[in-house]
Structure 1
Amino acid sequence: MQLFYNILYFFQKHGYEVCQRIADRMGMRAKVVRISFIYVTFVTLGFGFALYLFIAFWMRIKDLIYSKRTSVFDL
Structure 2
Amino acid sequence: MNFLYQLLYFFQKHGFEVCRRIAERLGIRIRVVRTSFIYLTFVTLGFGFALYLFVAFWLKIKDLVYTKRTSVFDL
Report the TM range for the smaller structure's normalisation: 0.7 to 0.9
More deviation, 31-40/10-19: 10-19
Distance 1:74 1:16, change over 3 A: farther
Moved over 6 A (4+): none
Q: TM-score, normalised by structure 2?
A: 0.84
1:70 Cα deviation from its structure 2 partner: 3.9
CA-based RMSD? 1.7
**Contact 1:37–1:52 (Cα < 8 Å) also in 2:** yes
1:69 Cα deviation from its structure 2 partner: 2.7
**What does the per-residue CA deviation read over 1:27-49, in whole Å, with 9 as the maximum and x for residues that have no partner?**
01111100000000000000000
- The match for 2:55 is 55
Residue segments in structure 1 that go unaligned for 5+ positions in a row: none
**Contact 1:16–1:56 (Cα < 8 Å) also in 2:** no
1:24 Cα deviation from its structure 2 partner: 0.3
How many residues end up aligned between the 2 structures? 75
- The match for 2:13 is 13
**Contact 1:23–1:30 (Cα < 8 Å) also in 2:** yes
Q: Which has the higher contact order (CA 8 A, sep 6+)?
A: 1
- Give the residue type in structure 1 aligned to 2:20: Q
Identical columns (%): 75
